Structure 1
Amino acid sequence: MSEAPVPPSARSRRRFDTIADHPWRSALAVAALGLLVLLLLWDWNWLEGPVERAVEARTGRSFTIGGDLDVDLGRVTTIRADALELGNADWSEDARMAAADRLQLSIEILPLLRGQVRIPEIRLQRPQVRLEIGPDREGNWNAFAGDGDGGNPIQLQRLWIDDGNLLFLDPEGETEVDVRVASQAPGEGDAAPPVAISGEGRWRAAEFELEGTAQSPLDLQDTDNPYRFDLHARAGGTRAHARGSLVDAFQFENFGFQMALAGQNLEHLYPLLGLAMPPTPPYSVDGQLRREGTSWHYRDFSGKVGDSDLGGSVTVETGGERNFFKADLVSKLLDLDDLAGFLGAAPESGASETPSPEQEAEAADDGRLIPDTPYELDKLNAMDADVRLRAQRIQADLPLDDMDAHLILENGLLRLDPLNLGVADGDIRSTVRMDAREAPIRTTLDADVRGLNLGSLFPDSALAGDAVGRIGGHARLAGTGNSIAAMLGSSDGELAVGMGRGEVSALLVELAGIDIAEALGFLFTNDRKIPIRCAFADFAVADGVMSANALAFDTTDTLIVGEGTIDLDGEELDLLLRPRPKDRSLLSLRSPLVIGGTFSEPSFRPDLARLGLRGAIALALGSIAPPAALLATLELGPGEDSDCGGEYAR
């Protein structure tokens, strides 16, 4: 039997009763429908405003998203934002500090629920960052320093940069660095993509170029493992190669790495680093560069300057009114010519020498023996210094053995204390004081000569090389001028040297006296030694002119006494030597000897007027009877052994 049909009004009432009995079902249905509509119509760009305001609140800088904002939801959610710009400090001329065409960021959702921020990757397209130093030496990045909230750090695993650019500006320091950065495919052992770096700009007004590679910038946040890099830079003729690794690289006050420097002239470091170095030949050094606060250390470096090896350690303190340069340097073999720049002298040039181009030009034009290149007063007042240089062996035309020099420069006052030179198996101990606080420079020299070996002074001379005797003396000079030539050319003081008993070649003495017969005899027979009683030279110096107070060389064979002057300003010689033989000899042309000319081209000749008179007498007598011509050259001699010059020396 079939049921009776339900009226429509009854069905509607039953449906209403069901809904009324379950109100949460209707709410859920409405919510689902609303969510569906929201998902279909949602535009992530609606969140641009809240995101911009959040970044501005955190950084204190304007922030805009000029393009689209998009999000791909998932366990790892990807966020993309286009045309980003971050505002600059108020004092900057450019309103934009950073920008990027696109930022793509991946973030893990589940760790967020535990308060952890894990970002597997950030990709940046054409990021541009402008770092600059403005008024009061303030950096435009200072607003972000120490802005952390003390919570869990962000874990960023991978950074990829497409065509990035970093610009660093320091107008006061005349520095502008423009660097391009691009990520490369990771190599073996790279957890994140490394970056290739290239750039150029000006550093302290000097143009430079830069290129190299480094680990991913993300690796800088790892304070436990070293950050590896390899960079080459060039500024003019100066080249630098920085490579190695940094630990906790964001600690800019403390870091260290290997640094090689090479160039044509250490003087070129002055505009780059503010270090007032003297002119030098080409150099190349390699050592460990480390910064500790305001101190820069270049430790355990080794290399060459010109033809000399050089090693040691250097420290530069930058925290004071002037930079302070401290160095402890050692050279196993020092080519003295490489120190020419310290003295303001032109170095030698040739196949065996390695001067810089500037020094080659200077050497080609220089005709003086005493250095006349002016010292630069601004450099002498630009920094303080404490430099110790020890040379174990010296290569030079002079008989130099070794050197120990200690230079102290303080507020324009330079002292070499001591300046010790090993010379001819003896030594010269001296102190030099140069006051550059006012122009011209005031210089004083105090030197003592001790135990110089007479034979070692002439190692290349067949006549004097085996001479025996020890020489001592002193020099006390004071002068004014901005070059060594000017200082000596205006100097006052005294200079004296002397020696006691010794031996010298008889041939040398006879040639000095132009004793033809004995000299020829020694030339064709065995030479013999003549005992030296003594020798001395005592000069008074006034306004750059050395005047002989006493000048004598006394042997058992011949006494040589002298007089005259040496002009340090004009570099001219005017000395008269009078040989007084103590033996009888035929063919003796008893005439004074004149030492003249210049320091670079001295002349050594007999007094031709007196020789001419004796020659005329010999010719006249020879015309009567040839043997009689010998009478004009017969020298009987005083026949006594003078007391170290006796009357002649006094």
Structure 2
Amino acid sequence: MSGPHERWRHAARRPLAHARAHPVLTVLAIALLAVLVLCLLWDWNWFKGPLERQVASATGRTLRIDGNLDVDLGWTPTVSAEGVAFSNADWSEEPRMARAERVELDIDPWHILAGTVRIPAIRLQAPVVHLETGPDGTGNWTFDGDDAPGRFTFEFRRVEVGHGRLRYLDGNADTDIVARIDTLPAPGAEAAPPVQVSGEGRWKGNAFTLEGRADSPLALRDREQPYHIDAKARAGATSAHATGTLLDPFRLTGFQLRMRLQGQDLADLYPLIGIALPETPPYTLDGRFSRDGNTWRYEDFEGTVGDSDLAGDARVETDRERPFFEADLQSQRLDFDDLAGFVGAKPQAGGDETANAEQARQAAQQAASSRLLPDEPYRLDKLRAMDANVRLRAARINAPRLPLDDMDAHLQLEDGVLRLDPLDFGVAGGTLRSTVEMDAREDTIRTRADINAAGLDLSSLLPTVELAQNAVGRVGGRVTLATTGNSIADMLGNGNGEVGVAMGRGSISNLLMEMAGIDLAEIIKFKLTEDRMIPVRCAFGDFAVEDGVMTTRSFAFDTTDTLLVGEGQIDLGEERLDMTIRPRPKDRSLLSLRAPLQLDGSFKSPSIRPDLGALGLRGAVALTLATITPPAALLATIETGPGEDSGCGGQYAE
């Protein structure tokens, strides 16, 4: 029989025999125990060196971890590092591209064997990122390290940023922006939380501010998925509010945004985005802003520019030698002075007119000036900065001092040559058709203009002349001009060509004609009784233009009652008038003074008065019918019609 001692010996042998029977379990148990002891005692800072060397190999930059590197084990381990810094490109004055007080990464180890490193969460405390464009246009986010593909792919699920700071610097474009970034509460437990951004600085030399919110930065990893933003930005006096989605935001290759654009002057966009537009009053536009490759579009927009409504589509192509701007614009009601920037003038200010503060100041200076023609030079750099194809149609024009009805303009700009063809206006019930070409390839602009008028209603042309309100007649004419100069004033002051205007049959107030002939008896009669309309047989003016001076070749206004014949000059450069109009009443009156009328003064302050000192000059009466024969070039615009008294000229009383 076996005793207690023997039974103990057999019991001690059973575990040993069990261990010998299961050696794999024994090894695993020992290994787990060793790993547990190692994890509890291991200094994870040992891995800092290998990690820094691996990053340097992959990027060509230095990674430093000045604080502790630690790992909290668990089902999803957390790796944390303190005092992390990543070096910048060697050409930058800023030594670090990125740094953070603390970085934490949760790592899911169960997908590593499949070649995927899944990061459920990244937490960044006080990160600072410095993005910069170098002298050659290369960004510091371009790395020089080993570009060979790695064995692992990475998946990120959440990122949380606390008190982040991002700086973007582009010295070539005078741009320096600092933005603050903070994570907002996530809409769901598994959703990547959005971020809130605010910042300020300088964008292309203009004071810049930014505020808004956007999807999590992790959403940027998928270039095929839309990235949502809602942001407001202001650069100088220009502001924009954009909402919508971006595709591949780092390269902005495609996006769909709703953008509201506001500013004091569309010309302010030139230094901001390189699009050369004329000076305008304050504007507000709202439309769809998108990009497809190298084409940027602003479509279905509508809004106001000054006191005008404006709608249409516009696009810019940037893959050419010069940006190409194309637009199709419409206005239902166009305030004419809002177009003043096209000719170097300023929009009207005061009253109900819309203008920014600078334009109001300049308009006041212009109103106080003795000059009328715009003398602000066109900017040659703008005319050469881009190519353009723009169509603008206005259904109705508001111009209280001008009898304008509508407009159709087509502007083409290519390699510094601007062409307006057509530049058509509805004027006084007729048409004014123009073609203008401006060649700005040299330091002085060379301009050619061809303007044709047809069917202009006489009474509408003189809306402020009471005695002309019932006048009947259609006016036509032509202007051809070749000139040089960099402003409208210079162009007109240097012009060479001809100007002709003519009217055929019609009627006009007899009182107006008697006043022109200074027939006191007839004036008294019509003042005491009732004015009557008298037939107009024809009217014309034919001028030669040389070095900005218009000289009459023939000038006449012929009615059955009075004949007006004129001669003289109009100096476009000096803005001076020097015209003599000799009235020849066709009836005899003892009280007819028959004094010439003198039209002189400046364009801004013209004067018309009788030249009583010339009453006794017989030379003033020595007129022949030949002097009032219409020039051949104007005959096509004159409807003389049949009848004994329908010819142009006729007899007058001596």
State TM-score, norm by structure 1: 0.88
Residue 487 (1) aligns with residue 491 (2): yes
Alignment CA distance shift 1:284-1:151 (3 Å): farther
Q: Any conservation in 2 of the 1:242–1:258 contact (CA below 8 Å)?
A: yes
Counterpart of 1:602 in structure 2 is 606
Counterpart of 1:449 in structure 2 is 453
Counterpart of 1:394 in structure 2 is 397
For 2:14 and 2:229, the matched residues in 1 are separated by: 77
Counterpart AA for 1:461: V
For 2:387 and 2:425, the matched residues in 1 are separated by: 24
Same amino acid, percent of matched pairs:
56
Alignment CA distance shift 1:246-1:512 (3 Å): same
For 1:123 and 1:3, the matched residues in 2 are separated by: 67
Counterpart of 1:506 in structure 2 is 510
Q: Any conservation in 2 of the 1:457–1:465 contact (CA below 8 Å)?
A: no
Q: Which deviates more, 215-224 or 411-420?
A: 215-224
For 1:579 and 1:375, the matched residues in 2 are separated by: 43
Q: Any conservation in 2 of the 1:444–1:478 contact (CA below 8 Å)?
A: yes
Q: Which deviates more, 124-133 or 487-496?
A: 124-133
Counterpart of 2:90 in structure 1 is 90
Q: Any conservation in 1 of the 2:537–2:646 contact (CA below 8 Å)?
A: no
Alignment CA distance shift 1:140-1:492 (3 Å): same
- Deviation digits for residues 49-104 of structure 1, max 9, x if unmatched? 23323333333332222211222222222221111122333333333222211111
Alignment CA distance shift 1:592-1:382 (3 Å): same
For 2:145 and 2:301, the matched residues in 1 are separated by: 35
- Deviation digits for residues 170-192 of structure 1, max 9, x if unmatched? 22222222211111223589933
Counterpart AA for 2:512: L
RMSD over aligned Cα atoms: 3.2
Counterpart AA for 2:384: N
What's the secondary structure of 2:476's corresponding residue? Answer: strand
Residue 167 (1) aligns with residue 167 (2): yes
Residue 413 (1) aligns with residue 417 (2): yes
For 1:347 and 1:68, the matched residues in 2 are separated by: 66
For 1:251 and 1:97, the matched residues in 2 are separated by: 19
For 2:32 and 2:152, the matched residues in 1 are separated by: 36
Residue 426 (1) aligns with residue 427 (2): no
Counterpart of 2:270 in structure 1 is 270
For 2:274 and 2:143, the matched residues in 1 are separated by: 30
Counterpart of 2:183 in structure 1 is 183
Alignment CA distance shift 1:595-1:144 (3 Å): same
Counterpart of 1:527 in structure 2 is 531
For 2:293 and 2:412, the matched residues in 1 are separated by: 24
What's the secondary structure of 2:554's corresponding residue? Answer: strand
Query: What residue ranges of structure 1 are gaps of 5+ in the alignment?
Result: 614-639
Counterpart of 2:578 in structure 1 is 574
Q: CA deviation at 1:111?
A: 3.8
For 2:528 and 2:510, the matched residues in 1 are separated by: 13
Q: Any conservation in 2 of the 1:221–1:250 contact (CA below 8 Å)?
A: no
Q: CA deviation at 1:422?
A: 1.0
For 2:231 and 2:526, the matched residues in 1 are separated by: 69
For 2:564 and 2:137, the matched residues in 1 are separated by: 72
Alignment CA distance shift 1:29-1:385 (3 Å): closer
Alignment CA distance shift 1:36-1:554 (3 Å): closer
- Deviation digits for residues 568-623 of structure 1, max 9, x if unmatched? 1111111111111122445333211111111111111111325699xxxxxxxxxx
Counterpart AA for 1:288: R
Counterpart of 1:620 in structure 2 is none
For 2:331 and 2:438, the matched residues in 1 are separated by: 25
For 1:579 and 1:608, the matched residues in 2 are separated by: 13
Counterpart of 2:345 in structure 1 is 345
TM alignment of 1:544-623, pairs within 5 A: 544-585=548-589, 587-610=591-614
Q: CA deviation at 1:276?
A: 2.0
Counterpart of 2:621 in structure 1 is none
What's the secondary structure of 1:362's corresponding residue? Answer: helix
For 1:270 and 1:21, the matched residues in 2 are separated by: 86
For 1:33 and 1:192, the matched residues in 2 are separated by: 38
Counterpart AA for 1:385: A
Query: What residue ranges of structure 2 are gaps of 5+ in the alignment?
Result: 618-643
Counterpart of 1:233 in structure 2 is 233
Q: Which deviates more, 580-589 or 208-217?
A: 580-589
Counterpart of 2:205 in structure 1 is 205
For 1:127 and 1:420, the matched residues in 2 are separated by: 60
Counterpart of 2:55 in structure 1 is 55
What's the secondary structure of 2:58's corresponding residue? Answer: helix
Q: Any conservation in 2 of the 1:75–1:110 contact (CA below 8 Å)?
A: no
For 1:552 and 1:412, the matched residues in 2 are separated by: 42
Alignment CA distance shift 1:641-1:34 (3 Å): closer
Q: Which deviates more, 134-143 or 177-186?
A: 134-143
Q: How many residues align?
A: 619
Counterpart AA for 2:545: V
For 2:18 and 2:158, the matched residues in 1 are separated by: 55
Counterpart of 1:637 in structure 2 is none
Q: Which deviates more, 113-122 or 543-552?
A: 113-122
Counterpart AA for 2:500: A
TM alignment of 1:363-382, pairs within 5 A: 363-366=363-366, 367=369, 368-382=371-385
Residue 516 (1) aligns with residue 525 (2): no
Q: Which deviates more, 298-307 or 513-522?
A: 513-522
For 1:189 and 1:82, the matched residues in 2 are separated by: 27
What's the secondary structure of 1:526's corresponding residue? Answer: coil
Counterpart AA for 2:191: A
For 2:141 and 2:358, the matched residues in 1 are separated by: 42
Counterpart AA for 1:501: R
Counterpart AA for 2:131: L
Counterpart of 1:622 in structure 2 is none
Alignment CA distance shift 1:194-1:26 (3 Å): closer
Q: CA deviation at 1:228?
A: 2.3
For 1:273 and 1:466, the matched residues in 2 are separated by: 53
For 2:63 and 2:416, the matched residues in 1 are separated by: 52
Q: Which deviates more, 273-282 or 102-111?
A: 102-111
Counterpart of 2:291 in structure 1 is 291
What's the secondary structure of 1:339's corresponding residue? Answer: helix
What's the secondary structure of 1:252's corresponding residue? Answer: coil
Counterpart of 2:322 in structure 1 is 322
What's the secondary structure of 1:137's corresponding residue? Answer: coil
For 1:459 and 1:425, the matched residues in 2 are separated by: 13
Alignment CA distance shift 1:122-1:148 (3 Å): farther
Q: Any conservation in 2 of the 1:469–1:499 contact (CA below 8 Å)?
A: yes
Counterpart of 1:301 in structure 2 is 301
For 2:543 and 2:232, the matched residues in 1 are separated by: 57
Counterpart of 1:216 in structure 2 is 216
Counterpart of 1:78 in structure 2 is 78
For 2:456 and 2:418, the matched residues in 1 are separated by: 28
For 2:331 and 2:610, the matched residues in 1 are separated by: 45
Alignment CA distance shift 1:347-1:250 (3 Å): closer
For 2:601 and 2:310, the matched residues in 1 are separated by: 39
For 1:521 and 1:188, the matched residues in 2 are separated by: 94
Q: Which deviates more, 106-115 or 325-334?
A: 106-115
- Deviation digits for residues 157-179 of structure 1, max 9, x if unmatched? 22110011112222222222221
For 2:216 and 2:144, the matched residues in 1 are separated by: 21
- Deviation digits for residues 422-448 of structure 1, max 9, x if unmatched? 111111111111121122222111111
**Residue from 440, 446, 455 that aligns with 2:444:** 440
Q: Which deviates more, 479-488 or 311-320?
A: 311-320
For 2:107 and 2:161, the matched residues in 1 are separated by: 18
For 1:300 and 1:148, the matched residues in 2 are separated by: 46
Residue 245 (1) aligns with residue 261 (2): no
Alignment CA distance shift 1:305-1:123 (3 Å): same
Q: Any conservation in 1 of the 2:483–2:491 contact (CA below 8 Å)?
A: yes
Q: CA deviation at 1:33?
A: 6.1
